[in-house]
Structure formats: structure tokens, C-alpha cells
Copies of this chain bind each other. A is one copy, B any other.
Amino acid sequence: MFSKQTYIERRNTLRASMKSGLLLFVGNDESGMNYADNTYRFRQDSTFLYYFGVNTPGLYAVMDIDGGRDYIFGDDLTIDHIVWMGVQPTIADRAAMVGVENTGTLAQLAHMLSKTSGRKVHYLPPYRPEHEVKLMRLLGVHPDNAQQQASIEFITAVAEQRNVKSAEEVAEIERAVNTTVLMHQAAMRYARPGMTEAQVAAKVHEVALAAGGDLSFPIIATINGQTLHNHYHGNTIQEGQLFLLDAGAETPMGYAGDMSSTFPVSATFTNRQREIYAVALAAHQAAIAALKPGVHFRDVHMLAARTIFDGLKALGFTRGNTDDAIANGAHALFFPCGLGHLMGLDVHDMENLGEQWVGYCGVPKSKQFGLKSLRLGRELKPGFVLTIEPGIYFIPELIDMWQQQGINKEYLNFDRIDSYRDFGGVRNEEDILITDTGHRILGNPLAKTIDEVEQERSFLL
């Protein structure tokens, strides 16, 4: 937890950006897996954490903008609970630690919300079914309408504030990144032919847990890196394959790290792997070099796309005029996703608030294949923390579809591409702070160049 003053100041900033009404913060509950009391690890709502810091389930908070008062609501434990769970601070004790003087029971919250005298109750978009049920019970909002009735004014104020990280937040993110580096190093130094993907993922997970936190998102640990959101870990890894790891730590305070690395299951890359890896890495490095305040992230994305397209042209996969090809999205056959995203208390920061508000200043996103997956499309500001993660993927289903439909055929050598349909995917990802004058890569260095990666794998020689 940060100091009391941090939370007071955060709430004062938010208060100043809202006109009137009540802000309702719905904290998260425990989530049952296969019955109510067999729970997933508790994860507090990030906006609740940001403004109220209390990391326990079953809470709500209210900011009365007109009255200038902040409240935390929840029910304290009974002696029965204490036998099973040990002595816990009361809600009033916890509230005092974040500078909140007013606390009440859940019944008192329901009473307060039933007597708002016509003032607007602002809430953020629900992203768990529990939020829908709570908003229905407390505000009478039917789940079918809960998304649309979320407050754009509240969303925008939170997004603009949380997007700019303070020095103490950057330090906490860097802590997460340093654990993330250890996770990736553990994989590179542990994975060997004959293991399952699950064994490598388990080792990576162990490092995150041993640091006292957990994962910031489900681990991708796969020989099928071309499947972008692949959480299957059942394959046995073999000589000659590429292993793609996308994994990050979450600190006990809830801040995220997020990195990707790609390494050979063997001690060294094959020539094919080396060539593609070098193109992806060049895009990665070009993108990072371009980061500074005032730059539009869409332009950095396009720079990476161009680097990939030109690099693949030199290898005979693409052809034609690069400007035209990029404008037509031809690169998206290999790079169908975005260059990166903001991160903080969420690994995709504030994704629940809507990318249009967080990453696009309210401007609707492009609908073009590839660009529609870009989560960030605005000018960069000092204090933004983001990932850079271009990749090159050979996705058989996408290759087949484009080839059959003739999509961008003037820019693509499908014969050559087809001979790489079993190649897999390559991605490197790092976490970067936008500084006043440029950028800074966060955390301790992780093997990234071909030589550095092969050095990590040399224990297999």
C-alpha cells in the first residue's frame, strides 16, 4: 500500500475533475471456481485499488462530489470468521490507512443509494457478472443496460488520471518487470527438449509466486507462437522448434509486468528462425527508438509494420511498394495485432473502461484488420507506461483465407509464405516508460539479441 497521502491526493484530483453527483466504486468479491467457497485468488478491482488501496473482498466506496466526503462500505468479520481466517483489521482500520474517515455497513450503503435526492450515481462499466448483479440490486439497473449506463464522465476522468504514472507507481511497475525478467530467464535456463510446455510454464509461474505476488495474466508458453492467445500447455517441446513465452508478474500491490521472449528449444536458432527473428527484433528496436512525448502511437505501430514488411521483402515473402502495402494492411498477414498497450494496475491498463476512452481519447478505433487490434492510438505523454511487442506469425488458417480470397495478393508471395506455414511465431516484448524527453526501458536487461538468447541456451551444448 502507498502512503495515506497518495490515496487522498488521487481522490482529490478525481474530485476536481468531476462536476457533481456520487461516484460508486464497486470492489471485487471472491470468485468461486466449482463452488462458492473454492475461490480463485482474490483480485481487487484496479480502480478501487487506485483510489482506495484496500485489497480485501466485499467492499464498496463512494465519493460524494457535492458533499466532499469519501466512504468505504463493507461488513466486518464475525468471531466465527475469525476462528477460520484469523484476526483481521476492521474496515474502519483499513479505511483510516487510506485516509477515509467515513465507513458503513452494506445495509448503510443500500440506504444511502436509495436516498440520492435525484443526484446522479456515476459508475464504471461492469466486467464481472457479480458487478451486474450488484448494480441491479443497488441501483435497479438491469444487466442488459448496465454497460450503456456507465458514466462516460467518470470513465474519462479515471482514464486520464491513471494513464499518467507517478514516480512511486513507476517504481512499483519496475519491481513487477524485474520479477518478469526472472520469469523469462528461468524459462530460458530450464526448458529442454522432451519437457512439456506445462513444465516450463509451471517454472515461470513459480518465480512469480515466490516473489510474493502472482501472474499479471495467464501465461502463454508454447511452441505454437502463431496462435496469439494460446493457453494450451499440453505439447512436448522438441529440438528445432521455437518456444514463445509471454508472461508477466503482478506485485502484491497489483502492478503488472508484461514481457515476451522467443528462444529455440535447441541450443541455437536454425537459419530460418534466425532470419525471421532478426526482422522482428529490428521492428522492436525501431519502435522503441521512436518513443517520446508527442509522438502518435499509431505512427510507431506503422513504423514497426513497415520494418516487418521491408524485412520480409528482403527475405522474399513480400513485394511491391511498401507505402501502398502498409496502407492496404498487407503486413497484417504476419503482424495481425497491435504494437503494444498501456500498462499499470492492469496489464492492459483499464481495458474494462473501454479502449476508445483509455487509448484513443474517445475517437473510435480503425476497423481495418490488424489496426483494429491496436489498443493504443493517441499521442504519448510523459508518465505513460506501455509495451512494445511487434511479432511475426505464420498463421496457417489466415494464410489459407487470404490466399483463397486473393487478399493483398499483389504484395505477398504466397508460395514462399506457404513453405513457412509450420514456422510458428516470434515476438519480443519490453515495458517502456515515456519520460519528459524520450523513453526508458524498465527493469533489468533480458536476453534479446540472437547472441544473447543463444548464450542463455548454451547450457544445452
Contacts and interface: CB of A to CB of B under 8 A. Distances in A.
Interface stretch (A197-205, A261-269, A275-283): A197-205
Given A35-B348, A132-B133, A217-B38, A227 B86 contact: yes
A412 B52 CA distance: 45
Interface string A208-232: 1111100001100000100111101
Interface residues of A, number: 70
Contact of A129 (B39, B84, B132, B398): B132
Contacts of A229: 84-85
> 10 nearest interchain CB pairs?
A202-B209, A35-B352, A129-B130, A202-B210, A206-B206, A86-B227, A35-B351, A129-B129, A33-B43, A40-B40
A46 interface: yes
A417 B335 CA distance: 67
Contacts of A398: 83
12 contacts: A29-B129, A31-B40, A31-B128, A34-B45, A38-B217, A38-B218, A40-B41, A129-B130, A129-B132, A198-B211, A202-B210, A206-B206
A232 B41 CA distance: 11
A158 B198 CA distance: 33
A228 B83 contact: yes
Interface of A: 28-29, 31-41, 43-46, 79, 82-87, 127-130, 132-133, 136-137, 143, 196, 198-199, 201-203, 205-212, 217-218, 224, 227-230, 232-234, 252, 336, 345-348, 350-352, 395, 397-398, 401
A13 B308 CA distance: 59
A395 B83 contact: yes
